[in-house]
Amino acid sequence: MLAHRLLLGLAGLTGAAGVALAAASAHGADAGRLASASAMLLFHATAILATVALLARGLLHGGIGLVAAFGFVIGAALFAGDLTLRQYAGHSLFPYAAPTGGTVMILSWLTVTLAALVPSK
Q: Rounded to the nearest 10 degrees, what angle do helices 97-117 and 32-56 cross at?
A: 20
The C-alpha atoms of residue 95 and residue 113 are separated, in whole angstroms, by 29
Contact between residue 54 and residue 79 where contact means Cβ atoms under 8 Å apart: no
Q: Considering only CA atoms, which of 103, 51, 43, 36 is closest in space to residue 75? A: 103
- The structure's pTM equals 0.94
Higher pLDDT among residues 119 and 49, named by residue: 49
- The predicted-structure confidence for 94-112, as pLDDT tens digits, reads as follows 999 999 999 999 999 999 9
DSSP 8-state code for residue 29 = T
- pLDDT of amino acid 84: 96
- The predicted-structure confidence for 32-63, as pLDDT tens digits, reads as follows 899 999 999 999 999 999 999 999 999 999 99
Domain boundaries, the chain: 2-117
The C-alpha atoms of residue 73 and residue 50 are separated, in whole angstroms, by 13
* Radius of gyration of the chain, Cα coordinates, nearest whole angstrom: 15
Residue 29 predicted with pLDDT over 80 = no
